[in-house]
Structure 1
Amino acid sequence: MPESKFFFVSAVPLLHSGLVRERAAYFKEKNEVRKRLKGIPFFTLPIYAPQNFVFSSRHSFRTMHIGASWHLARLLRRIDPDVVHCRSYHATYAALQLRERLGKKYKVIFDARGVWSAEVALKRNFPEEGKNYKFLLNLEKWIVEKSDATISVSPQMGRYFENLGCNRSACIYLSAPVDKFEKLSSSAPKEKEPQAIALVYLGTLGVDTWHKPSELVALYKHLVALVGRVRLKIITMSNHGALLKQLEALGLCDVEIVSTKSIEELAAELGGMDIGVLSYFKPKTKNERLLSSVVMAVKTAEYLAAGLPILVNKYCGGAAEVVSTNSVGIAYNPDTFEEITEHALNSLRTGGAQQRSVFIAKDLFDRSANAQRYAKTYRQVVS
């Protein structure tokens, strides 16, 4: 949109996980963001509360906005925007409140990324009939109804917000540098054993997460029983030593665990592999099932961009729908694995699934294509 001017605004709690985890490196990362934005002005606003207040009760929610809304109001008066694109519930709440208070006419785009009401209720153990959960649901409905457009990262998430009465709905999947993955992974040296399936798991893995080692091991053992030889690589920033002990306790000893620090390194590690894995977990509660049904992980895009069809737990809803709808893998039942047969596996290695995976990655997850989708939404809300 060369005819338009853009601003990038980041509101950050004074005490947050990035600062605790990365310390001085956090400020270096902020400078890298400024460099990538080039001529786009980048503003940071303070939030006078610790990050854990993001997961709010009906009493603590507004404390995130004390003081921070004053800084944002000053900035909005200065910029006088036509569209405010908000990448969280808190940001959308702030933009909507200030639009009314300042008498502005800018359009608000709610870009959810997840179902925050269910996330908070699960994290804080709010009962479904309790006042806190009802507060979150009412707040969510108010945000959806007041926003001029709602963007979702999966069709299931879009349907959820449509049922709440959103004014305009758009599904724009997560973005990835698809061309870079395709080029770098295809040029990586091929070191796979001819008769072995080269399986790769990417991302967080741990007993205290939704990405359970037990689910990955169960899938691995099913594949070994099915085809005999399976080579497993895990690419993760999780603690390698602790993870290895967890895997060994589950009876898995023959595994390669690596970490990567750049797209180039990640693409090289994905090169030469056959199939990507999203083993996930088995949801049990209402909110777990809701969150699982709408989830979309960026590793979905990275696998496909590298030409890897995916074996995905059917409860990993957004990814499972992409895989099933576009025939770029197998969405399986983690209790039976009945969908994963030797014939089905062979078709992922020889039936054009790799080329189809790259095509789907370009169609759904490419950064440039998604920029066009965002631009279309901006134009629609101001027309």
Structure 2
Amino acid sequence: MPKVLIVAYYFPPFGGGGVQRTVKFVKYLPEFGWQPEILTVQQPVADLRDGSLETDIPPDIVVHRTSGLWLPHWFPWRLKNYIARWLLVVDQQLGWLPFATREGIKIFQKEGIDVIFTTSAPYTAHLVGLKLKQQTNLPWIADFRDPWVGNFSLTFPTFLHRQLAQRLEQKILETADRVVVVSEPMRQAFLGRYTRLDANRVVVIPNGYDPSDFEIAEPINPDPTKMTIVYTGSFYGRVQTPHYFLQGLCIAFDRGYLPKQAVQVYFVGSISQSIHRQLKVLNLTNTVKVTGHIPHQRSIGYLLSADVLLLVIGVAAGSNVVLTGKIFEYLAAGKPILALVPPGAAADLLNEVGVGYIVPPDDPDAIAKAIADLYSAWQHGRLTVSPDQAVVARYDRRRLAGQLAKILDDISESQQ
């Protein structure tokens, strides 16, 4: 069976949305004739852990873990962020580059690797792929879960920093044998920014959901006398924020659209101290419960127990191409989605499936009215949706792994 070396900084026991994409590829690629080997880090510079994801990894998968050079753990977060933005340029994980490259060469020499696959973020992983490509001449696939330049959650301290990032991104895109992105708008953004890029080498494999996760998930049994709204995952700074949703919720209460005790909101994941403070200022600490980071399997239970799922994407430049991973598990859950999203990839998908109540993400009045409409439908037993299952099935993780396997087949055959 041919082997693909998957270079992924984030890998179990580390958790999070980006990890799930990699893990599901690893889980299902052997069914399509490809044996993954993993190159990752010993101790990721992050706090999220989710050992439950390890159950998805076949027992015969070899995982190579390397060390790196990191900023001291006792450095304040703001100082680390300052150093990463101003001095490291790429990301905080740049210190992994020489270690991962050296280990990748060893794996190539010992294991007979056929294809290199790198996935970002962090973007350092693609620099590892670039080095390995240059030293081994193996076919290389660069998987972008988010763009680097044009990422709505990233800002560059100076024009020169942005230019350097753009040159590195261009080098990666033009050197890789294939570039995989998660949405068609993201593909078009790359092709528009880098006009020399061969359009045939840039392909879309979206994020998805794994039906097996839903088969074993246990619902949380919320209070049946309250409409339950669930949001899973993280918020990102001032761009992807719950601020307008919380304002809309308060407006709905203040105007009498629904009683405060009639709704329960769950933020399933960790939130920043600023959001905690906002909940206190708005007197919403009883209405909005924050679970903190929990295993992915438990988060599925919250989806299945919800009356309404909350999706938030900001209105910053580049947000129209965002197709966040959680949206596909939301679709698989088959629940109404209160979507605070701009026109773009996410809104188009929700309209195609037929499950979204789409509201401008920065309009608290419109959000309040949408919450009121959902509550009225819930009160009268009419809060149901009929998703287009044929569309939802396109995002089955097994099917998406098959698409990646086809790319692996194509580029490995072209090298022979």
Instruction: Specify the SS of the correspondent of 1:278.
Output: strand
Show the counterpart of 1:220: 249
Show the counterpart of 1:126: 157
Q: Contact between 2:240 and 2:313, CA under 8 Å: does it hold in 1?
A: yes
Deviation at 1:268, TM superposition (A): 3.2
1:246 aligned partner, one-letter code: Q
Alignment gaps of 5+ in structure 1: 284-288
Show the counterpart of 1:140: 169
Q: Contact between 1:189 and 1:271, CA under 8 Å: does it hold in 2?
A: no
Quickly say closer, same or farther: Cα 1:190–1:300, change in 2 above 3 A. same
Deviation at 1:342, TM superposition (A): 8.6
Instruction: Specify the SS of the correspondent of 2:126.
Output: helix
Q: Contact between 2:207 and 2:325, CA under 8 Å: does it hold in 1?
A: yes
- C-alpha separation between the residues in 1 aligned to 2:345 and 2:407? 21
Show the counterpart of 2:128: 94
Show the counterpart of 2:89: 57
Alpha-carbon displacement from aligned partner over 1:27-79 (angstroms, at most 9, x marks no partner): x94x9748823112111233334496876328999765334422222222223
What is the 5 A alignment of 1:225-374? 227-229=257-259, 231-238=263-270, 243=275, 245-252=277-284, 254-259=286-291, 261-283=294-316, 289-290=317-318, 292-315=319-342, 317-336=344-363, 338=366, 345=374, 350=382, 353=385, 355-356=386-387, 360-364=391-395, 366-374=396-404
Show the counterpart of 2:14: none
Q: Contact between 2:84 and 2:91, CA under 8 Å: does it hold in 1?
A: no
Quickly say closer, same or farther: Cα 1:256–1:49, change in 2 above 3 A. closer
Instruction: Specify the SS of the correspondent of 2:206.
Output: coil
- C-alpha separation between the residues in 2 aligned to 1:359 and 1:183? 23
Instruction: Specify the SS of the correspondent of 2:387.
Output: helix
Deviation at 1:282, TM superposition (A): 4.1
1:132 aligned partner, one-letter code: H
Which of the residues 203, 206, 212 maps onto 2:233? 203
1:261 aligned partner, one-letter code: I
Show the counterpart of 2:68: 47
Q: Contact between 2:119 and 2:126, CA under 8 Å: does it hold in 1?
A: yes
1:156 aligned partner, one-letter code: P
Quickly say closer, same or farther: Cα 1:11–1:265, change in 2 above 3 A. closer
Deviation at 1:275, TM superposition (A): 1.6
What is the 5 A alignment of 1:68-107? 68-88=100-120, 89-102=123-136, 104=137, 106-107=138-139
- C-alpha separation between the residues in 1 aligned to 2:126 and 2:111? 17
Quickly say closer, same or farther: Cα 1:313–1:321, change in 2 above 3 A. same
- Which region of structure 1 is more displaced relative to structure 2, 56-65 or 196-205? 56-65
Deviation at 1:359, TM superposition (A): 5.6
| Aligned residues: CA RMSD | 4.0
Q: Contact between 2:180 and 2:205, CA under 8 Å: does it hold in 1?
A: yes
Instruction: Specify the SS of the correspondent of 2:39.
Output: strand
Alpha-carbon displacement from aligned partner over 1:161-205 (angstroms, at most 9, x marks no partner): 2332244222222233334326747x7657433xx6432222335
Alpha-carbon displacement from aligned partner over 1:139-182 (angstroms, at most 9, x marks no partner): 11121112121111122212222332244222222233334326
Q: Contact between 1:114 and 1:294, CA under 8 Å: does it hold in 2?
A: no
Show the counterpart of 2:206: 173
- C-alpha separation between the residues in 1 aligned to 2:295 and 2:343? 26
Alignment gaps of 5+ in structure 2: 1-29, 72-79
1:38 aligned partner, one-letter code: P
Alpha-carbon displacement from aligned partner over 1:4-49 (angstroms, at most 9, x marks no partner): 442332332x77423xx37xxx6x94x9748823112111233334
Deviation at 1:86, TM superposition (A): 0.8
1:93 aligned partner, one-letter code: L
TM-score, normalised with respect to structure 2: 0.71
Q: Contact between 2:68 and 2:99, CA under 8 Å: does it hold in 1?
A: yes
Instruction: Specify the SS of the correspondent of 1:132.
Output: helix
Between the aligned residues of both structures, percent identity stands at 19
Q: Contact between 2:269 and 2:294, CA under 8 Å: does it hold in 1?
A: no
TM-score, normalised with respect to structure 1: 0.76
Bigger share in helix: 1
